[in-house]
Amino acid sequence: MRADAGPAAAAVLRLEGRDVGTAAADLLHTVIASTPRPVIGVATGGSPSPLYRELAARGGDYRAVTWFALDEYLGLPAGHPQSYAEVLRRELIDPLGLDPRTVHLPDPHSADPHDAAARYEQRIADAGGVDLQILGIGRNGHLAFNEPGAALDSRTRVETLTEDTRQANRRFFPTLEEVPTRCITQGLGTILSARRLLLLAQGAAKAEALHRALTGPVSADCPASVLQLHGDVTVLADAEAAALLP
Ligand code: PGA
């Protein structure tokens, strides 16, 4: 189904929760099969989990693929189970049998994280840019860790997490105090540079943010509204997340 939403309408598909993973895996495999040296941007968090489970169940040959994470926490010790390097190892690298050297993340242990952010942006460019970027959406409308107020043309940089985001990610940590306060995140401009975007959204907590992102004004108040500026966006949402869409 195609829903006219915003200046450049996204293709919005309403699916059962389990089917989000199936449809996302279909799209990812289509991109990989049609691209000689595919570059896939990967998200972490709950939203992409059905996709990664489906990819693991299907198997496949990913030797030609280069992967780039959206973001990484600052301040966690190396090997922390909630660092995105470890999350991607558990959810993607090990289950799919990927060569870890093909999976890139910002370096959170650099003496100069600002420099690490700039180098990461350059690595994405050097790889030829992202062919398919997988995204979740925050309940405050954030995209990666681009929180409300982020510049629409921002590039990879050091950012501070909002309290709302720290509360949302609290479920992955023993206490709120242990949720990092800073990160390196791809910018909104970086994300918009990907040739194709795939947003996954599940659950009622995402309904308002998804509605604002796709039908509201393009504004830093809702960073995910930049999706309206991109010409090739697919949104896979379950009924709860899509409840407020036209
Ligand atoms: P979630 O987070 O996938 O864990 O819901 C998405 C986000 O905050 O961007």
* CATH at 221: 3.40.50.1360
Catalytic residue among 54, 147, 159, 238: 147
The pLDDT confidence band at residue 185, using thresholds 50, 70 and 90, is very high
Please check whether residue 67 lies inside any domain of the structure: yes
Catalytic residue among 54, 71, 72, 91: 71
Please check whether residue 185 lies inside any domain of the structure: yes
Q: Which residue has the tokens 């993607």?
A: 92
Helix (H, G, I), strand (E, B) or coil at 184: strand
Residue to mutate, 137, 142, 167, 197, ligand 1, most ligand atoms under 8 Å from C-beta:
137
Which ranges of 89-177 would DSSP assign to H, the alpha helix? 94-96, 113-126, 163-169
Please check whether residue 2 lies inside any domain of the structure: no
Predicted pLDDT of residue 8 = 62
Please check whether residue 31 lies inside any domain of the structure: yes
Please check whether residue 99 lies inside any domain of the structure: yes
Residue 59 has pLDDT above 90, yes or no: no
Please check whether residue 243 lies inside any domain of the structure: no
Residue 231 has pLDDT above 80, yes or no: yes
Question: Can you give the residue range of the structural domain that contains 23?
Answer: 9-238
Number of domains making up the chain: 1
Please check whether residue 50 lies inside any domain of the structure: yes
Average pLDDT, the chain: 94
Predicted pLDDT of residue 14 = 85
Predicted pLDDT of residue 138 = 96
Mean pLDDT of 112-140: 98
End-to-end CA distance of the chain: 12
Residue 1 has pLDDT above 90, yes or no: no
Counts of helices then strands in the chain (DSSP H, E)? 8, 10
Predicted pLDDT of residue 6 = 46
Report CA(205)–ligand 1 centroid distance (Å). Answer: 10
Predicted pLDDT of residue 16 = 78
Please check whether residue 244 lies inside any domain of the structure: no
